[in-house]
């Protein structure tokens, strides 16, 4: 919903829109923090989720990345994929690449 149009008068007080600052002492997590591992899709699940068996034998729950979703890249059982694991929870990840 668009903000109401102003017709002259005093300027609105307070901070401008979308100028919130984030504290510098809390760095954002970057992709370089993620652990990339290759694996094989064992089972496709609803909502673009997959059970992936990694090369080291572990089984993780992974969802499809946004770019793969946007480009309609299909992932099927048996596909070899690259999974990005968060350093905080190694049992969940994001599928970032499907090998041809």
> Looking at the predicted structure, is the pLDDT value of residue 52 above 70?
yes
Q: What is the mean pLDDT of the chain?
A: 87
Q: Are 42 and 51 in contact (CB under 8 A)?
A: yes
Domain containing 81 — which CATH number? 2.40.50.140
- Across the chain, the runs of DSSP E, i.e. the strands, are 35-45, 49-54, 59-64, 80-85, 92-98
Q: Does residue 39 fall inside a structural domain?
A: yes
65 assigned to some structural domain: yes
Decide if 2 is inside a domain.
no
Give the CA distances from residue 95 to residues 21, 38, 61, 71, in Å, rounded to whole numbers and listed in that order: 31, 9, 10, 14
82 inside domain: yes
Q: Which residue range is the domain that position 68 belongs to? A: 31-98
What is the reported pLDDT for 1?
A: 73
pLDDT in tens, 34-47: 999 999 999 999 99
Please give the pLDDT value at position 61. Answer: 98
Across 15-20, average pLDDT:
66
Residue 25 scores a pLDDT above 60 = no
User: Which tokens go with 55?
Assistant: 């090369």
Query: In this structure, is residue 9 part of a structural domain?
Result: no
73 in Cβ contact with 48 (< 8 Å): no
- pLDDT score of 28 more than 60: no
Domain count, the chain: 1
């Amino acid at each position: 919903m668009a903000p109401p149009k102003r017709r002259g008068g005093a300027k609105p007080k307070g901070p401008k829109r979308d100028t919130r600052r984030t504290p510098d002492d809390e760095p954002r997590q970057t992709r370089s923090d993620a652990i990339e591992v290759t694996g094989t899709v064992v089972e496709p699940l609803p909502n673009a989720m997959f059970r992936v068996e990694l090369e080291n034998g572990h089984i993780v729950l992974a969802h499809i990345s946004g770019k793969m979703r946007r480009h309609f890249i299909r992932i099927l059982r048996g596909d070899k994929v690259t999974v990005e694991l968060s350093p905080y929870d190694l049992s969940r990840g994001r599928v970032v690449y499907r090998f041809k």
